[in-house]
A and B are shown apart, each in its own frame.
Chain A
Amino acid sequence: MAREDPLLSADGESLTVLHELAQVLELGVLIVDRSLVVTSCNRWLAAALPDAMPDLVGRSLLDVFPELRGSAAEHALLGALAGSTTVWAHRFHRYLLPLPPRPSGSEGRFERMQQSAHVMPLVRGGVIEGAVVIVQDVTERVAREEQLREALGRAEVASQAKSDFLASMSHELRTPLSAIIGYMDLLESDMVGPVAPLQKQYLGRVKSAAKHLIHIIEEILTFSRVEAGKEPLALEAIDVAAVAQSVVELFEPQATSKGLALIATLPTAPVMVFTDPTKLRQILINVVGNAMKFTDAGSVKIAVTHDADMVSFVIADTGPGMTEHDVERIFDPFTQLDQSLTRAKGGTGLGLPVSRKLAHLLGGDLVVDSVPGEGTTFTLSLPKVTDAERVLHPAQSTQALA
């Protein structure tokens, strides 16, 4: 069943409508006959031509723009007379009609109008009578896209440089600190001579400070690795309830000394999940450690629940809580909500951003819910998967689980 495109197969009436429409468009519309003589040129295109140029109508397009002879543009026009439609993407051709250069930008440069274009046949009564050329001025858009590309390139380079700097600085700092701790151990052990009790006490404090510094450096190192997409995963089938139990045990002495109730509600049967135990432990230590740090009275509760698809770790404290504004910023790197707390409580402000990034790396998420004056609840959810493929492709795994 033959069909004709009503726009391109113009009868006299619709051609008039097309002409009228062309006059108000912010596009150049040019119509040529089979000899490439211009039969119509809309106002927009006429305005883009130099004042000295006589009216285009009635003149051969190849005489008006001799550069078109033998060019791809002439080929497109002849193609249209044979029934083809040509699309002219700016990226490949720059412009179709060589309109005279005009001032560009503030530096006194002159530039041709950059164009994307369409060239198509004009069909009347089943006969190709000529060609329609539509050009769009894309000069500004192309310049904007170019600026955007350059800015993006610069940002990527800067981000990579920052990650590289953090990684190498962290490494450089960790190496001498490891030596400091090693020599402290040696001195403390009396192997190189007797050490007085007070000296031992001071050595212990130096060692503890050095270990704290190493912990901070590890956090920076992990953050920069995760951000650079270079954090490796070591996946295995593990009982995640047992990991939670070991983290609870780690914090029991601290809870006792602070007078906090540390309450764990864990499943009695193993909950087997294919994940990275070190990363999971790191997240839980960060989140529980955070709760312990900011809670001065009351309790820190840790609960593990699971269904067929997900396993959730809920850590709820009775600390000071956060406002909605604070909750939005808590996962931003290098942010501590109250700078006075930084000095009082210590830390890099990287623990929670790193934890969330690690949660994403494991195919899960870390979210927070908080009420000022009542406390904060963090929920770590991980897909309850049993094979590596779905952990490594979380988007697909979510679909597969849905």
Chain B
Amino acid sequence: MTTNRVDQDALTELFNIGLHKAAAALSELTGQRIIVDLPRLWVCPIEETHLRLRELIEGELATVHQVFMGSVSGDAVLVLEYENASRLAALLTDGDVAVDGRLDQSAREVLAEVGNVILSSCLSAFGDMLQVAVSFSVPRIHVESLEGLLRSLKVQKDELHYTLLAATRFRLTEGEVGGYLMIAVGLSSLDLISKALAEQDR
């Protein structure tokens, strides 16, 4: 099984490198100290992602979705429960946006920028390890259900797909917000990643 071949510790380490870079960028952007950590990571077939996410999150979601392309390709999504998304936007802007818990246009832009920083930092960490360039589409923010999110993934039917699902926690001066990072890739991309991880360990 491919999922068994992926070295979870090495993968966690890779995510941590990306999140560390993202946190530094976000701290500079907002002028406040931000830590983004990764309490848990799962690798599962895309069909099981649905069940896993259903256990973890409920209600309406706010997602930042980017398609990435290159030798490895797939979908990268920052998934937040709607309330957490508005709380995160408010925390990042000292309450200037997401007034009254509502994601207004400015709050959505803030989340799109934050999502872009996090997703591209993590994917760049993958790209650096694989020594390939990864390019990204423009991030799109959606308010949607879990089903809507899963439908929107650009999964190609010609190969098996897997999800790298990471629970993340944004720690700011005034509070913490939990969310999920989801990277959906095809079997060939996952194989490239797991081989590179294995070589790195040698």
Contact = CB atoms under 8 A, between A and B. Distances in A.
Interface string B110-138: 10110110001000100000000111111
A89 B156 CA distance: 32
Contact of A87 (B105, B109, B188, B189): B109
Nearest to A120: B138
A2 B133 CA distance: 11
A89 B98 CA distance: 14
Main secondary structure of the interface of B (DSSP, over half): mixed
Contacts of A1: 73, 156, 158-159, 186, 188-189
Contacts of A4: 69
Contact of B137 (A8, A91, A138): A8
B139 interface: yes
Contact of B105 (A7, A121, A145): A145
Contact of B99 (A89, A121, A138, A152): A152
Interface stretch (A15-23, A78-86, A170-178): A78-86
Residue among B66, B99, B113, B186 having the largest count of chain A Cβ atoms under 10 Å: B113
A325 B73 CA distance: 59
B138 A85 contact: yes
Interface string A147-165: 0110010000000000000
B71 interface: yes
A89 B113 contact: yes
A34 interface: no
Contact of B69 (A2, A120, A145, A149): A2
Residue among B73, B110, B115, B135 having the largest count of chain A Cβ atoms under 10 Å: B135
Interface in A102-153: 116, 118, 120-121, 123, 128, 138, 141-142, 145, 148-149, 152
A89 B133 CA distance: 25
Main secondary structure of the interface of A (DSSP, over half): mixed
Contacts of B133: 83
B93 interface: yes
Interface in A2-39: 2-5, 7-8
A238 B172 CA distance: 44
A3 B69 contact: yes
Interface in B1-58: 29-30
A369 B71 CA distance: 66
B174 interface: no
A88 interface: yes
A141 to B, nearest CB: 6
A84 B69 contact: no
Given A145-B105, A152-B99, A92 B186 contact: no
A85 B120 contact: yes
Nearest to A395: B59
Contact of A91 (B69, B106, B135): B106
Interface string A61-100: 0000000000000000000000111111111100000000
B127 to A, nearest CB: 8
A92 B156 contact: no
A149 B137 contact: no
B182 interface: no
A116 B109 contact: yes
Given A2-B73, A5-B69, A92-B30, A85 B137 contact: yes
Given A1-B156, A1-B159, A91-B93, 10 more contacts: A1-B73, A1-B188, A1-B189, A5-B67, A5-B135, A84-B136, A86-B116, A87-B138, A142-B106, A145-B106
15 contacts: A1-B73, A3-B67, A3-B73, A4-B69, A5-B69, A7-B137, A84-B124, A87-B109, A87-B116, A90-B109, A92-B30, A120-B138, A141-B105, A149-B99, A152-B99
Interface of B: 29-30, 66-67, 69-71, 73, 93, 96-97, 99-100, 104-106, 109-110, 112-113, 115-116, 120, 124, 133-139, 154, 156, 158-159, 186, 188-189
